[in-house]
Chains A and B, each alone.
Chain A
Amino acid sequence: MDIGFLAQYLMNGLMLGMMYALVAVGFTLFFGVLDVIKFSHGDVLTVGAFTALATYLGLEQIGVTDPATQILVMVIVSTVLIGGLGAVIARTVILPLRSAPPLNTLLITLMLGTVLREAVRLFYPEGGNPKPFPALLPTDSVTFGNFNLRLDNVLMFGAGVLVIVGTQWMLNRTKLGLAIRAVAQDEETAKTMGINFNLIVFITFALGSALAAFAGVMNGLYYNEINFGMGLLLGVIGFSAAIVGGMGNLYGAILGGFLFAALQTIGAVALPFASAYKDVFAFAVVIAIMAWRPTGLIQEKVSDRV
């Protein structure tokens, strides 16, 4: 195969993988801290993307037309608001069910996801239709043979890397990160050490949700189109990525995200049968990996499970 096309496939896969990884990191954060699976995560991403779009329309209304400012404001408004939404979700649905069986949390977040999705569909003006998302990043491109490298893709990818590295740094190098890890490792001990448990939970959920909002904006900028159902499959894929990488492990989530994107790309391109089966192929491989390594590719270092 021509090297240019290979590079093109790689770039496509990397962009896709970055979005999956951002979603998977959220799943893994929630699971790490509270051992809960929050199925509304994908729909939180949708709300984030729509918030950014609404912000953009608002900015256009008041006459702010500089694309750089617009993107900055969109990302800030969307991540802050959705971070807040994450904290509210933690406060109102996750924490009250702390002592209930985990199945209840799973179910209630699944339903919350439906509520968020339908809310976007019904309350956003004509939310049932796909919405064009503005292309605000510079679209210059460099062509190497058959490889079309676009500046906007590079910028988005770079921003994604920065966000993930930043999250990792925050978790491992700051006091807040230490507190989050402490709560993740042992809730009781963390509490006795004077860590405000509820606050840490809120912050973790805010952080995970803000990451989802960021992924939502990235998704919009990349595809230039968003719709109310976009979070559904992204949520499932992000969840699978987190599981296959090793739930509770940040590197696992990232690995899982890129692995899933790679599988989809291979499924669409390299397999002899039609690309209609690319998701089937990707999920089948995930199932195989789960059978091989039930705790994921990279296991949580400290396991408190009996």
Chain B
Amino acid sequence: MSNGISKKYSGIALVAAFAMGMAISGEAAAKDKVKVGFIGPLTGGVSVNGIGGRNSADLAVRLRNKDPKAKYEYELVVQDDECKPNIGVQAATKVAADRKVIGAVTHYCSAVAIAAVDTYHKFGLPVVVWGAVLPDITYGNTYKEVHRVNGTMINQNQTAAKFMRSLGYETWAVIHDTTDYGKGHNKYYSENLAKEGGKILATFGVTSDQQDFTAELTKIKELNPDVIYFGGLTPIGVRVRSQMEKLGIKAVFQGTSGIVSDAFVEGTGKLAEGVVAFREGAPTENLPGGQFFLEKYQAEKYDSPPEAYGAFSFAAMNLVLDAIEQVGPNRKKVRDVLNKTSGRDSIVGEISFDDHGQNTVALITKYVIQDGKWTVWEDSDYAAGKRKLVGQK
């Protein structure tokens, strides 16, 4: 009898315990932890861009975690790719192999991104590229996992060639790094410049850690071009620009999106004046959600600026988070949602992915450095005719 009672009670206790357990786990289920990844160059020559991107992705995650309507609690897994393809593949494998990571925002450096896309495909991890501009990252494969919010270097170089020709320049010398990034820029710029009727006098491929450019530059001085086109990233851009000065070369220094960073201005100092470069998308403060983004960024007190691609990283992370919110933490489903992205509103403007997961960014912004600041060409003294680039007509 007493046995029966105790059984009965224990039954009730069990039910109660179960119910309580449900309540606890129910609450936990409302805020299940989901991991999302970020990969970018956090050390090395372009680390300012990587850290800006990391902070921006982190901002997206923090804002989402503060949102009471969010279904999950997100944890950002950060990896450093050092802008080196071999390290990048390791970082990609690490993130992709963690089954708890549902999506990731990856890569500033094209050479790294192109090396890592196979990894994402193999592991089935949906990623959104936030800064790398090499066309082949999206167009060189049919991987459903790979998407990109920023534009490619094709559009950038079209605009660049057209614009520079319109300023009356005739001849160019090209220096590019021999990574996929630099080679891509060289290819697309040369093609577009030929169409516009400009002439390239010589092309120099250089390694991405080269220190001395005096031999190449002396050769260029001999050829005396109007413009030196540089296809590469900030660190060697700084070196080329300052060594130009040492050899007394007066040509215009024309860069690509790879040098649009405050680090370039800081590294070249006074020599930065009159350097031109091109980047897809509008400057952050002119973006539809730019002010909102910058305000939130400021409020979180990150110790370095978002840099040129921070807004893209933020938008990319939001895409991933939205997809997870919509279909839950499932890589395949998230991938499919991302693939269908069309006309999505974001702080960088409308995002639509084509068959290859490539966002169509029509706008290319022309920049010139004026008084130590990257200034939109149309707003600059150069466009107004108050100042002139070397040899500008």
Contact = CB atoms under 8 A, between A and B. Distances in A.
Contact of A275 (B47, B206, B238, B269): B206
A74 to B, nearest CB: 19
Interface in B40-96: 42-45, 47-48
Interface string B208-245: 01011011101101100000000000010011001100
A109 interface: no
Given A8-B247, A129-B48, A275-B206, A230 B211 contact: yes
Contact of B212 (A128, A141, A223): A223
Given A268-B219, A276-B206, A278-B215, A150 B246 contact: yes
A88 B204 CA distance: 43
B203 to A, nearest CB: 7
A295 B45 CA distance: 39
A223 B243 contact: yes
A5 interface: yes
A225 B242 contact: yes
Contact of A148 (B48, B204, B205, B248): B248
B242 A274 contact: no
A269 B211 contact: no
Given A265-B215, A276-B205, A279-B207, A130 B267 contact: yes
Contacts, number: 89
Interface in B235-292: 235, 238-239, 242-243, 246-248, 263, 266-267, 269
A128 B47 contact: yes
B178 interface: yes
Contacts of B216: 268-269, 275
Interface string A143-183: 10010101001000000000000000000000000000000
Contacts of A150: 246
A115 interface: no
A129 B45 contact: yes
Contact of A227 (B45, B48, B207, B246): B45
Contacts of B239: 223, 225
Interface residues of B, number: 34
A56 B171 CA distance: 41
A229 interface: yes
15 contacts: A5-B222, A12-B212, A121-B43, A128-B43, A130-B235, A148-B248, A225-B238, A227-B235, A233-B211, A268-B215, A269-B219, A274-B204, A274-B205, A275-B216, A276-B205
Interface of A: 1-2, 5, 8-9, 12-13, 15-16, 121, 126, 128-130, 132, 141, 143, 146, 148, 150, 153, 219, 223-225, 227, 229-230, 233, 264-265, 268-269, 274-276, 278-279
Q: Which 8 A-B pairs have the closest CB atoms?
A: A276-B205, A128-B43, A268-B215, A12-B214, A148-B248, A275-B204, A274-B205, A265-B215
Interface of B: 42-45, 47-48, 178, 203-207, 209, 211-212, 214-216, 218-219, 221-222, 235, 238-239, 242-243, 246-248, 263, 266-267, 269
Given A225-B238, A230-B211, 11 more contacts: A8-B218, A15-B214, A128-B47, A129-B48, A224-B242, A227-B235, A229-B209, A264-B212, A274-B205, A276-B205, A276-B206
